[in-house]
Structure 1
């Protein structure tokens, strides 16, 4: 009997460790994308640090609440594709207050999705090819940043890329965190060389609240695309991932909690919290132990870990602010390569036969090109026009074209 105690303790610790790994990988793999996105839409360094703090703490609290209430491994994350969308959008009419207003509208739409099934059905009616093409177009310019950075600052950027390449081969899960660690060393060397000190920069976490404002351009150019990307690339896939491990996600409570959390975090600069998708497998799958009834502990420990990681938001923002040009952009671009690959496959990989398949592909490519262009028309960002152009082109090209059963 005594011989079984170490094994029992090991089994009990497994989901907790899996949750900690889930949070560490999720945070270090994409926080640079979040900071890049918030700065792009007008946040100051202090406001970007506040936004990172808000989403990190809120997703931690949401994961703890949902996992302990339903006893299933529901993990919560920020919207990395959404942050990438912000990075490609740039400042909007009304500045940072209008951007936070768009975040709040996104949260309200997520709450409405939980309350009214018709809105979820409407999102589901957006063709996957169009939604994924819009996402691919948003991601593409960011994924090109490492290439541009190599040409301008090779000695700062190449070490980061080399570490990433090595880890992609031997430990893919840690490739982006490893790239960030390499970037941190590059930043430290540069600061030592230039004699720059952290003394004049904020190192302790703090919320920088702003009164959100409504702007038509921000609602159309940020809120609606952010909502579509979050639903199509995070919430719906997140449900599928957890279902694949035998769990049923409580849809309405999940949408209400994450939507309300998004609204609550908006004045502090938090852009969106949602169901985790890729990282969800770390807490819901075999890595969290053989006992499926105890894997909810992994989601709980991930939430607690996020609360701890939130305390580093100001220090990390300072590190990013002091980084040599191109270094953080390289980390962000490398972090998004996997998402770009998935989006391209979703946009172009499911082409059907005949003229219908050609029409689907053409509409998807048009969507991608418009989104990647970064063109602003009437103060409204490219992602909205990409979605509109893709849907219109698909409708026109498929008029009168016979589609295979199931399309």
Structure 2
């Protein structure tokens, strides 16, 4: 613990907090919709939030501490979106069975080492291009938000540019402070009093097995979690220089999903967007001290899980434009660094460009998100280019 105290930095603490703020506020509404689609009442919805917060908190904290790198986990946002549209006609206990089934598949993938082997076949420029494509829309969201909330977002952006020049380590802290002060200044002074101070409660429901639901919902949940979340998550770690073993981390997310599935923890995985916030230079200049952001995120996720509905109500105070701008500004450096890594090598540039464009396009085949197809198309282009070069 003495080493942790020596490595502590305010910028890493803030990076962890921003990651949790962005992670919760940007997609908690989708989780609510998924729980409602599963037939959950208000008590079970709070159980979902608590289970997800505890799962992310424990995995972020202990995996980051063990590997001394920012291992950021998250709930499966595309998985939640899938559940919203796929759970019609499925009872709540059968939905729990779906979560357990997907968790077992994730755990087996991690234990077998298969995912780690697959990721080793992906060249770094292709992975960086894919990641840049995933993050690209968040960079655009800064200026999309500026159109609808000009003064708030402009204030945050100018704050970032000025603080980046003078105090780069704390640039995102100043951006966050500027956004919060701006929102409070223009809001009703009584808005904080409307937040309930309650602690959530876990509700256990045993799984029931429906073969149609397992194949029709459980298998797609596993696929979108692996392709849309874990692949970009690994790309974040690799592009930031962290060689954290993938298979054990995937195994732990699968195990956590398995344990918390009966309480509503439908799927855990490596984070991509929030991980990029914690793994970049804005977190800390020294990569060896960035794991503090993982510990910070873990603690804040635990608090969010325990507080349940209180934290959700708190996050709802901040407008969508502020959250979108905060995420985009925090990721500007990461987007630029990954584009540079992807395009710097003439040999891989065209294949990396294809991977980037396919990912940005948002195309989806067979229900699998564009991040997977970006890597696949990029690798295919690279293989064809290498064969053509050797033939000539």
Do these two structures clear the TM 0.5 threshold for a shared fold by scoring above it? yes
Match of 1:352 in 2: 347
1:153 aligns with 2:153: no
In structure 2, distance between residues paired with 1:229 and 1:88: 12
Q: 1:120 aligns with which of 116, 121, 129?
A: 116
Match of 1:25 in 2: 15
Q: For the aligned residues, what is the CA RMSD?
A: 4.9
In structure 2, distance between residues paired with 1:283 and 1:106: 38
CA positional deviation for 1:147: 0.7
In structure 1, distance between residues paired with 2:107 and 2:178: 40
CA positional deviation for 1:60: 3.8
Contact kept? 1:164, 1:179, Cα under 8 Å: yes
CA positional deviation for 1:141: 2.5
Contact kept? 1:115, 1:252, Cα under 8 Å: yes
- Give 1:300-315 correspondences, 5 Å limit: 307-308=302-303, 310-311=305-306, 314-315=309-310
1:204 aligns with 2:198: yes
Secondary structure at 2:387's aligned position in 1?
coil
Q: 1:395 aligns with which of 360, 366, 380?
A: 380
- The change in CA–CA distance for 1:238 and 1:332 in structure 2 (over 3 A counts) is closer
CA positional deviation for 1:116: 1.0
- The change in CA–CA distance for 1:192 and 1:209 in structure 2 (over 3 A counts) is same
- Give 1:3-402 correspondences, 5 Å limit: 13=2, 15-16=4-5, 18=7, 21=10, 22-40=12-30, 42=33, 53-62=50-59, 73=68, 76-79=71-74, 92-94=85-87, 107-192=103-188, 196=191, 198-199=193-194, 201-206=195-200, 214=214, 216=216, 220=220, 223-228=222-227, 230-235=229-234, 238=237, 253-265=248-260, 267-269=263-265, 271-274=267-270, 279=278, 287=289, 307-308=302-303, 310-311=305-306, 314-352=309-347, 357-358=349-350, 360-361=351-352, 363-371=354-362, 380=367, 383-384=369-370, 387-388=372-373, 391-392=376-377, 395=380, 398-399=383-384, 401-402=386-387
In structure 1, distance between residues paired with 2:34 and 2:306: 19
Contact kept? 1:156, 1:186, Cα under 8 Å: yes
Match of 1:6 in 2: none
Secondary structure at 1:391's aligned position in 2?
helix
Contact kept? 1:79, 1:234, Cα under 8 Å: no
- The change in CA–CA distance for 1:124 and 1:154 in structure 2 (over 3 A counts) is same
Contact kept? 1:114, 1:256, Cα under 8 Å: yes
State the TM-score, normalized to the length of structure 1: 0.66
- The change in CA–CA distance for 1:171 and 1:277 in structure 2 (over 3 A counts) is same
Secondary structure at 1:192's aligned position in 2?
coil
Secondary structure at 1:144's aligned position in 2?
helix
Match of 1:9 in 2: none
In structure 2, distance between residues paired with 1:167 and 1:103: 44
- The change in CA–CA distance for 1:101 and 1:124 in structure 2 (over 3 A counts) is farther
Contact kept? 1:191, 1:197, Cα under 8 Å: no
For each residue in 1:88-127, what CA deviation from the matched residue of structure 2 results, as whole angstroms up to 9, or x when unmatched? 9895433898999887676545422332123321233345
Secondary structure at 1:191's aligned position in 2?
coil
- The change in CA–CA distance for 1:138 and 1:178 in structure 2 (over 3 A counts) is same
**Which runs of no fewer than 5 residues in structure 1 stay unpaired?**
1-11, 289-294
- The change in CA–CA distance for 1:79 and 1:403 in structure 2 (over 3 A counts) is farther
- The change in CA–CA distance for 1:269 and 1:346 in structure 2 (over 3 A counts) is farther
Deviates more, 1:391-400 or 1:20-29: 391-400
Secondary structure at 2:109's aligned position in 1?
helix
State the TM-score, normalized to the length of structure 2: 0.68
Contact kept? 1:283, 1:299, Cα under 8 Å: no
- The change in CA–CA distance for 1:307 and 1:344 in structure 2 (over 3 A counts) is same
Secondary structure at 2:318's aligned position in 1?
coil
- The change in CA–CA distance for 1:43 and 1:91 in structure 2 (over 3 A counts) is closer
Deviates more, 1:331-340 or 1:85-94: 85-94
In structure 2, distance between residues paired with 1:389 and 1:243: 22
CA positional deviation for 1:148: 1.7
In structure 2, distance between residues paired with 1:231 and 1:198: 39
